[in-house]
Structure 1
Amino acid sequence: MNEIKFINVGYKDAENEILKGITMEIPAGYIHTIIGPSGAGKSTLIKLVNRLIDPTEGRILIDNTDIRDINIIELRRRIGMVFQQAYLFDGSVADNIKYGPMLKGINNIDVKHYLDIVGLDASYMNRKVDDLSGGEAQRISIARALANEPEVLLLDEPTSALDPASTQIIEDLIMNLKDKLKLTIVWITHNMEQAKRVGDYTIFINNGCLVEYGVTKEFFANPKSEISKLFIDGKLTKGEVA
């Protein structure tokens, strides 16, 4: 089990109310795509899940435990995150994949195993990260996250900077990981076609509010909200509210 619950979650910074009253349950073992206009609060939402920031209102639970009651280092091992740009440490591919387990005192990690998972062969182990293509670097960042054996994987537009071929590789990889490792995956995307392809469920956020959340095929075929319809059709005016 790795169900995530949001209970009336809000977030304000010094100047703006970014998220408002988010309440939803994210069931375990599926890919949940988050869509919405730029500035809607999508990245803020997933940063709350592994406590890069904390909500200013409400609670977030994983397996019915408030995430603030979980040691933050343990929480971030359980909830991996991959960003839009692949942020890799200086050194080799193996150095990056070994990093998380070594912090736990595990020094005999099988780097090849994690390379296999992301579809790269053992020849990459000693490659310097500066020598990787964008798609290869993103796959290594996923391998590094997986080396901590997370229950949840958060993806903040992981393919937006990649070419179509690399994007397809990452999409296939993530869908395979869901089935193979039974991960709960939360994936932000601006690409509607990608959301349709990869998402089991779709979460639509606008102006910091949860507008609609449901099975992806049903969401795109029969959106319940007029705002959702406008967004799907590319006609949503900035600032328009539900």
Structure 2
Amino acid sequence: MLTIRELKTPLIGPLDLALQAGEAVAISGPSGAGKSLFLRAIADLDESAGHVALDGTKRESIPAPEWRRKVAYVPAESGWWADRVQDHFTETADLSSLLHQVGLADALAWEVSRLSTGERQRLALVRALQTAPQVLLLDEPTSALDPPSVDLVETLLKHQLAANRALLIVTHDPGQPERLGARRLVMDKGQLKAGAGQGAPA
């Protein structure tokens, strides 16, 4: 599905990774290792060199807005540019199920100013899912959540995997890869290596 070969920026790489439909890959590593930069490079938010393709189609052949719909990136801290939550969503009619799954069924009517950091994280995930992406790039999506909210988000992510979406997640939660059934990788000094008990990056 998502193929990455010789991807590099001034601070990371070259990096290779193959991510299949319905597969989760979890990346851990020390702060400053390049994990977030890797996600941003895949999302085409930072300049990079190398080969990135989705279902065999090179990224440069896909218009940037379409690429970002198909390969959705959720940063650790998402931007909020309007006063009301509902103004950050393009298709509010079909969001009720997703909002319910993350425990925020009524959130569209709220003011952004009243949102906690954890609520913003959960809503950012829903915002990414509204475009029905094939791949989710998630940068520490549960870092600000309490255990019950982590359970809600991880259940939602498992549903996405069951729907054949692929998941690439940066996490500092040591138990999260196992809970998501994810392949483990470690990034250090801009390079990827297999996590404990895992094979080398594909």
Range of TM-score over shorter length: 0.7 to 0.9
SS, match of residue 99 in structure 2: helix
Deviation at 1:20, TM superposition (A): 2.3
Q: Distance in 2 between matches of 1:165 and 1:114?
A: 16
**Residue of structure 1 aligned with 2:63, choices 64, 68, 71:** 71
Q: Which one-letter code corresponds to 1:32 in the other structure?
A: V
Deviation at 1:32, TM superposition (A): 1.0
Q: Which has the higher contact order (CA 8 A, sep 6+)?
A: 2
Q: Distance in 2 between matches of 1:7 and 1:23?
A: 4
SS, match of residue 75 in structure 1: helix
**Residue of structure 2 aligned with 1:9, choices 7, 10, 15:** 7
Q: Which one-letter code corresponds to 2:94 in the other structure?
A: D
Residue number in structure 1 paired with 2:148: 165
Q: CA 1:184–1:198 in structure 2 vs 1: closer, same or farther (change >3 Å)?
A: same
Confirm or deny: 8 A CA contact 2:21 2:165 kept in the other structure. yes
SS, match of residue 110 in structure 2: coil
Q: Structure 2 length as normaliser, TM-score?
A: 0.87
Matched, 1:37 2:30: yes
Q: Distance in 2 between matches of 1:224 and 1:4?
A: 18
Residue number in structure 1 paired with 2:125: 142
Q: CA 1:96–1:224 in structure 2 vs 1: closer, same or farther (change >3 Å)?
A: closer
What is the Cα-based RMSD across aligned positions, in Å? 2.2
Deviation at 1:27, TM superposition (A): 1.3
Q: Distance in 1 between matches of 2:98 and 2:125?
A: 9
Q: CA 1:117–1:28 in structure 2 vs 1: closer, same or farther (change >3 Å)?
A: same
Q: Which one-letter code corresponds to 1:80 in the other structure?
A: A
Q: CA 1:223–1:50 in structure 2 vs 1: closer, same or farther (change >3 Å)?
A: closer
Q: Which one-letter code corresponds to 2:35 in the other structure?
A: K
Q: CA 1:69–1:194 in structure 2 vs 1: closer, same or farther (change >3 Å)?
A: same
Deviation at 1:33, TM superposition (A): 0.6
Q: Structure 1 length as normaliser, TM-score?
A: 0.74
Deviation at 1:113, TM superposition (A): 4.1
SS, match of residue 144 in structure 2: coil
Matched, 1:51 2:44: yes
Which 5+ residue runs of structure 2 have no aligned equivalent? none
Confirm or deny: 8 A CA contact 1:30 1:183 kept in the other structure. yes
Which 5+ residue runs of structure 1 have no aligned equivalent? 13-17, 102-107, 213-218, 226-242
Matched, 1:176 2:169: no
Residue number in structure 2 paired with 1:120: 104
